């Protein structure tokens, strides 16, 4: 079991000043596992996945990503460790955060060229291949401003994939998108899962979680209140806290009729945590 653990989290505790966001979170993510992190707004989901690539330092506990370990408390990790972890962990943000002064292609080429000294021509070929795989070959020379939200998010995913990460983190990748664009981004993520990429994804798209995730983690009130196989957790939650959360989320979902999480009703009813 332990040999194929890609991310191992033990006793993770995070505070912002005096305020504890979450405490003593432990769990493991195995190779090719898809983990969906759900929970009410403000539960600490974003903060949690940002700890994994050390965008946020944390106060206690430890996170091991493959051979590299981050330890809470003490000082910051060594530069080499940080570099390794960030190269092995890709991330897509809720607000895309594409670099506006670079084209779609430039965004995807930047990482390998800067961190791995990959020659431009090689980086370009790889970036084009990635953009083609998400159906954006013809948008390669466009600047982010000219791309739709859905296109921007797909470029952002390519930018992360260009680093050949072992794990991908997604922080509500579709909550800033207009309903008709949610499907194209979820489709891209679904493709990654099918290729065996390890994914940790914060989402409000319950239907998608049910279909694609192996494991669901429910965060609320600064804790993990429930974790288990996706279908079990989503259909028969055992904890009171996840039951109340899920009924509140799923009610409007069912009311929307088609039960398609990517349908227009679903996203608007659920909303996202807008930053």
Ligand X SMILES: Nc1ncnc2c1ncn2[C@@H]1O[C@H](COP(=O)(O)OP(=O)(O)O)[C@@H](O)[C@H]1O
Chain residues in the site for Mg ion (CB under 5 A): 46, 273
Query: What are the strands, taking DSSP E only, across the chain?
Result: 5-16, 19-30, 34-38, 60-65, 68-71, 89-92, 167-171, 198-202, 215-220, 223-229
Q: How many residues does the chain have?
A: 275
How far apart (Å, rounded) are the C-alpha atoms in residues 83 and 78? 9
Q: Which is nearer to other proteins, 139 or 159 (CB)?
A: 159
Q: Which does 47 bind (CB under 5 to 8 A by kind): other proteins, ligand X, Mg ion, none?
A: ligand X
Contact call for residues 89 and 64 (beta carbons, < 8 A): no
Judged by CB under 6 A, does residue 23 bind ligand X? no
**C-beta of 126: minimal distance to other proteins in Å?**
14
Judged by CB under 6 A, does residue 196 bind ligand X? no
| Binding residues for other proteins (CB under 8 A) | 53, 55, 79, 83, 86-87, 89-91, 93, 95, 97-101, 110-111, 114-115, 143, 145-146, 156, 159-160, 163
**C-beta of 95: minimal distance to ligand X in Å?**
12
Q: How far is CA 99 from CA 28, 109, 142, 159, 189, in A?
A: 32, 12, 12, 10, 21
Q: Which is nearer to other proteins, 160 or 233 (CB)?
A: 160
User: Residue 66, Cα to own-chain centre: how many angstroms?
Assistant: 18
Binding residue (CB under 6 A) for ligand X from 21, 89, 109, 270: 21
Q: Which does 99 bind (CB under 5 to 8 A by kind): other proteins, Mg ion, ligand X, none?
A: other proteins
- Residue 29's DSSP bridge partners are 7
Judged by CB under 6 A, does residue 16 bind ligand X? yes
Q: What is the signed CA dihedral for 85, 273, 61, 57, rounded to 10 degrees?
A: 60
**C-beta of 270: minimal distance to ligand X in Å?**
13
Q: How many CB atoms lie within 10 A of CB 26?
A: 13
Mention every residue, 6+ apart, whose C-beta is less than 8 A from residue 179.
262, 263, 264, 267, 268
**C-beta of 166: minimal distance to ligand X in Å?**
23
Q: Which is nearer to other proteins, 156 or 266 (CB)?
A: 156
Judged by CB under 6 A, does residue 42 bind ligand X? yes
Judged by CB under 6 A, does residue 52 bind ligand X? no
Judged by CB under 6 A, does residue 12 bind ligand X? no
Binding residue (CB under 6 A) for ligand X from 44, 77, 183, 265: 44
How far apart (Å, rounded) are the C-alpha atoms in residues 32 and 161? 15
Q: Which is nearer to other proteins, 63 or 91 (CB)?
A: 91
**C-beta of 72: minimal distance to other proteins in Å?**
19
How far apart (Å, rounded) are the C-alpha atoms in residues 134 and 105? 13
Binding residue (CB under 6 A) for ligand X from 29, 36, 43, 123: 43
Contacts 24+ apart (CB under 8 A), 115-123: 115/83, 115/87, 115/163, 116/87, 116/163, 123/162
Question: Which positions lie near ligand X, rule CB under 6 A?
Answer: 16, 21, 39, 41-47, 273
């Amino acid at each position: 079991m332990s040999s194929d653990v890609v991310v191992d989290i033990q006793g993770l505790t995070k505070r912002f000043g005096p305020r504890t966001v979450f405490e003593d979170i432990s769990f493991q993510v195995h190779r090719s596992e898809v983990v969906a992190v759900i929970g009410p707004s403000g539960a600490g989901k974003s903060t949690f996945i940002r700890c994994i690539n050390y965008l946020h330092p944390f106060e206690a506990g430890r996170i091991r990503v493959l051979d590299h370990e981050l330890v809470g408390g003490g000082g910051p990790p060594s530069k080499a460790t940080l570099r390794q972890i960030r190269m092995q962990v890709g991330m897509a943000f809720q607000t895309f955060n594409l670099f506006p002064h670079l084209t779609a292609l430039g965004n995807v080429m930047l990482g390998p060229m800067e961190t791995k000294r990959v020659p431009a021509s090689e980086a370009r070929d790889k970036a084009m291949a990635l953009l083609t795989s998400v159906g954006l070959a013809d948008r390669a020379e466009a600047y982010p401003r000219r791309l739709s939200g859905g296109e921007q998010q797909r470029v952002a995913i390519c930018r992360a994939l260009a680093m050949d990460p072992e794990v991908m983190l997604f922080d509500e990748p579709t909550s800033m998108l207009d309903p008709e664009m949610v499907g194209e981004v979820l489709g891209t993520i679904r493709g990654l899962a099918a290729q065996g990429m390890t994914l940790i994804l914060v989402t409000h798209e319950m239907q998608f979680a049910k279909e694609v995730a192996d494991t669901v983690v429910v965060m609320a009130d600064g804790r993990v209140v429930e974790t288990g196989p996706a279908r079990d957790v989503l259909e028969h939650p055992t904890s009171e806290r996840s039951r109340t959360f899920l009924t509140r989320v799923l009610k409007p979902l069912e009311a929307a009729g088609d039960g398609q999480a990517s349908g227009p009703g679903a996203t608007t009813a659920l909303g996202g945590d807008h930053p």
